[in-house]
Structure formats: C-alpha cells, structure tokens
Amino acid sequence: MSSYISTDAAICNLQKAIRVYEDIKYPNLIEMLEYFRFDDLYAAVFKWVDGECLFEHWNFEKYANNKSMIPPRNRFCQLTFQKKTESI
C-alpha cells in the first residue's frame, strides 16, 4: 500500500510538525538547528547525535532475516523502569 500527497501538502505538514517540535522543546529531544525553503521543497536540519531510532521502519527486513539481532525498540522495552525513565 502506498500513499501520495502533493509537494505543497508535504511542506505544510512539515511546517506544522516544526511548530509542534518547537512547542515541545525538551533537553532529550534532538536539537533542531534550522528550517528553510529550498527551491520548491522545505527542509528541517537537526543536530547529529549518535544513537539508534526506536522505530527503524526501513530495517524491518534486516531484523526479520537475522533473528540474533534485537531491534532497538525491543531492546528499549526490555530495560528496567529506572533506565527507561532516565532516558526521558
């Protein structure tokens, strides 16, 4: 199943998301450095951090094909309550 929205709608969605991201600014969220229009597109630039995404939708197959690898979300879920609360 695929989805399509126009470039204008995608830009509008990103701009709305940027406003929400600014409203929920929190020390443990990745810092947004800037956002800007680029030709017919729109970009948001974030500070680079070393880490893993808890929802690696682009890697589902990698984990399905190698059962010895535990996806980041599953590893996070296995942490103690104390460790989870330290991350937020």
pLDDT at 75 over 80: yes
Using DSSP, state whether 32 is helix, strand or coil: strand
**Rounded Cα distance, 55 and 50, in Å:** 15
Q: Tokens in use for 19? A: 């406003």
**Rounded Cα distance, 55 and 81, in Å:** 20
pTM check: above 0.85: no
Tell me the pLDDT of the chain averaged across its residues.
87
Q: Tokens in use for 82? A: 């104390």
pLDDT in tens, 12-50: 999 999 999 999 988 888 899 999 999 988 999 999 988
Helix ranges restricted to H, the chain: 7-23, 60-65, 72-77, 81-86
Q: What pLDDT was estimated at residue 45? A: 96
